[in-house]
Amino acid sequence: QIRTRLLPKRGVFALKAEVLVTLGAQHAYYLLAETLFDTHSRVGLEEPGHPHARNSFAMRNPALARIEVDDEGVRLDALPPLDYLFVTPSHQSPTTATLSLARRQRLLQLAEAHDVVIIEDDYEAENLYEGAPMPALKSLDKSGRVIYIGSLSKSLSPALRLGYIVAPRPL
């Protein structure tokens, strides 16, 4: 149901082997940190940013870089060298800024040029007061650089700890 009903609404298409069901987004952060990060990893996080992601990632002791956010989302003008960049582009947590389409496209270009993997938490993408949601970064990704995290906890019930990761099969 996630693969055939939820993801296509965000423009994301995945094979069965590319979807991993989790116990919410926080579990996804933990699993990705345990799998991908070590003390040599350089991980960018939005500042201000999602504290649960920061806490989960910090447990693996990567080099964390704080990336400023403005009214268009994460700023791309002075990104340090990174291996991974965690973003909440659809509804930045906690500012609620939405990453503009131009910045989404530029972010994907920079990620490809500098060999950066983007971890996208599509946090509250459809909980809008007006307008249509912006496309997910994953839906614009042509080079396979985006790992996508989604959750049903906000849209169905906070008590329902159900989330998912969409990533290449080897991951």
**Tens digits of residue pLDDT in 66-93:** 999 999 889 999 899 999 999 999 888 8
Buried b (16+ CB within 10 A) or exposed e, 64-82: bbebebeebbbebeebeeb
Lowest mean pLDDT segment, chosen from 50-59, 69-78, 102-111, 156-165? 156-165
Find the angle CA(21)-CA(126)-CA(116) to the nearest 5 degrees: 60
Q: What is the mean pLDDT of residues 107-125?
A: 91
pLDDT of residue 47: 93
Statement: residue 128 has pLDDT above 60: no
Statement: residue 27 has pLDDT above 80: yes
Mean pLDDT of the chain: 90
Statement: residue 53 has pLDDT above 80: yes
Q: Supply the DSSP symbol for 137.
A: H
Query: Which residue has 């040029």 as its token pair?
Result: 113
Q: E strands of the chain, at which residues?
A: 19-22, 42-47, 63-70, 73-74, 84-87, 117-121, 146-151, 163-166
Statement: residue 54 has pLDDT above 80: yes
Q: What is the mean pLDDT of residues 140-160?
A: 83
Lowest mean pLDDT segment, chosen from 69-73, 79-83, 99-103, 122-126? 122-126
76 vs 152, residue with greater confidence: 76
102: CB partners within 8 A, 6+ apart: none
pLDDT of residue 159: 67
Single pTM value for the model: 0.92
* Residue from 167, 87, 156, 157 nearest 119 by CA: 87
CB 73, CB 98: distance < 8 Å: yes
Axis-axis angle for helices 51-58, 25-36 (nearest 10): 30
